[in-house]
Amino acid sequence: MPVWLIIVLVVAAIFLIVLLAIWGSYNGLVKLNERVEEAWSDITVQLKRRADLIPNLVETVKGYAKHESDAIKQVSDARAKMMGARSVKETAEADKSFMGALSRIMAVSESYPELKADARYGQLISELTDTEDKVQAARRFYNAGVKDFNTKIKIFPTNVINSSFLHFEKRDYYEVDDEEAKRIDKAPEVNFSDKKEEKEDEK
């Protein structure tokens, strides 16, 4: 076999290998990005569902706990902040405030037996708990996707492919401090002595 033909075949093989590497990296990065986008969409759907339950919860609580206006206002304000969030970081920060406010209103309900016994209230709490479980599952899936994506764009040759063609940027994790984002089925204890005194004075 002529030397020139061997050289051509070697060059062609190298070119093919490089081309396959570029193709694989490109497609892999695009797929990871789509996975992250899909996971984020799942989170927003569940957050929207959770936010849609709040007005009914607020109205139900108002019917039994009119004196808890501060807690009611906090959860309403936190909901508005959640609905207005745009970026991942903004949404995560709003989620922290929302879960804190929701935990407080859950704790408030402990001092109103009639409220806890209300069938509508019980159904709303059940739906909120179910939705929160789905939010947490979606958040874990999203963060796993972000980890894979952020790792992918840092390693060779994907980093070269990305900087040359795709220009994808590092994605933000959806981080919620567990100390601030209390689960609604684990509401913290609250001292209601001052509230009770206010009610007695009004009577």
- Tell me, what's the pLDDT at 131? 92
Query: 159-175 in b/e burial notation, b at 16+ Cβ within 10 A?
Result: eebbeeeeebeebbebe
- Tell me, what's the pLDDT at 182? 46
- Tell me, what's the pLDDT at 63? 86
- Tell me, what's the pLDDT at 127? 92
Right CATH for 3-202 from 1.20.1050.10, 1.10.3720.10, 3.40.50.620, 1.20.1440.20:
1.20.1440.20
CA-derived radius of gyration, the chain: 26
From 106, 81, 109, select the one nearest 96 (Cα to Cα): 81
pTM of the model: 0.74
- Tell me, what's the pLDDT at 178? 54
- Tell me, what's the pLDDT at 177? 63
Coil, helix or strand at residue 86: coil
Per-run averaged pLDDT (10 residues), the chain, 203 residues:
78 83 82 93 92 90 84 89 90 89 85 88 90 91 94 87 83 74 43 41 46
